[in-house]
Amino acid sequence: MLMKDMIFDTHAHYDDEAFDADRDSLLESLAENGIEAAVNIGSDLKSIEDTLALTRKYPQVYGAVGIHPCSTGELNEESFRKLRQAALEPKIAAIGEIGLDYYWDEPGRDMQKQWFERQLELARELARPVVIHSREAAQDTLDIMKAHKSAEIGGVIHCFSYGLEMAREYLDMGFYLGIGGVLTFHNAKRLKEVAAYAPLDRLVLETDCPYLAPVPFRGSRNCSAYLSYVAEALADIKGLAQQEVIRVTNRNAKALYRLDGQEAPGRNPL
């Protein structure tokens, strides 16, 4: 009897207080809800520690460690050394989420850029892919990544929210695009165009839970079990069976995070 392929959630925040009441039961039930694994993403110093704890406790949870642009004000040389040490843990698969966020524009843009660049170089040093957060900062994010030859590092553009032109830039660099619950929103025309354009082997599924729950759960707490709705929406756009989308995006996730013993496609050797 053939086993059905399972979903791989490439971006979750199960350390968030929204899961304090039922975190254990949710993570223990991933498999029965069709989820093979989830990557918990660090975004500040506390969430990095929490991410490490989750990866140690749950076999099906991997981690990424990094400082979100809005939290870069807490970074200094000492805390950066702690970040580097955390990145050496066995189940830490990436540096992230890192990048630029001009929606809030705090801390200032110069500080965001400084620590974005430092974390890109940390990823290069440790041969880890990067998880990129970019909000209302399209050109600056791309310019910094090109200046640091990020095509040689590899990674994913989390919660991709830009148009076709920017999608082409990142796909040409060998990056994956993270697709989540927004794809199911009625007003997500631009993302649906990107999803139709991008090759399926360059897309990965993500929740960003507890945020961005898909329709019909929009506005409520998100979780990995809801990714079946995103897979269904992507399958409709691509004209494929949902199970094929799940199979390919699972394979993509393992290649992205180098959990399958092979290099991510399009990535140059370091």
Q: Residue 1's pLDDT is what?
A: 33
Q: Say how far apart CA 157 and CA 255 lie, in whole Å.
A: 15
Cα–Cα distance measured from residue 234 to residue 180, given in angstroms and rounded to the nearest whole number: 10
Which residues, in sequence order, are CB contacts of 136 under 8 Å at separation 6+? 101, 102, 103
Give the span between the Cα atoms of 103 and 260, in whole angstroms: 36
- Residues of the chain short of pLDDT 70, as ranges, are 1-3, 261-270
Q: Go through the chain and tell me how many residues it has.
A: 270
Helix (H, G, I), strand (E, B) or coil at 82: helix
Write the DSSP symbol of residue 226.
Answer: G
R_g of the chain, CA atoms, integer Å: 17
* 3-class SS string, 19-34: HCCCHHHHHHCCHHHC
- The C-alpha atoms of residue 217 and residue 181 are separated, in whole angstroms, by 9
CATH 3.20.20.140 matches 7-256: yes
What is the token pair recorded at 153? 């590092």
pLDDT at 122: 98
Give the start-to-end residue ranges of the domains of the chain.
Answer: 7-256
Other beta carbons within 10 angstroms of residue 24's beta carbon come to: 11
Helix, strand, coil % in the chain, rounded to nearest 5? 45, 15, 35
For the segment 171-188, what is each residue's pLDDT rounded down to a tens digit? 999 999 999 999 999 999
pLDDT digits (tens, 9 = 90+) for 87-135: 999 999 999 999 999 998 789 999 999 999 999 999 999 999 999 999 9
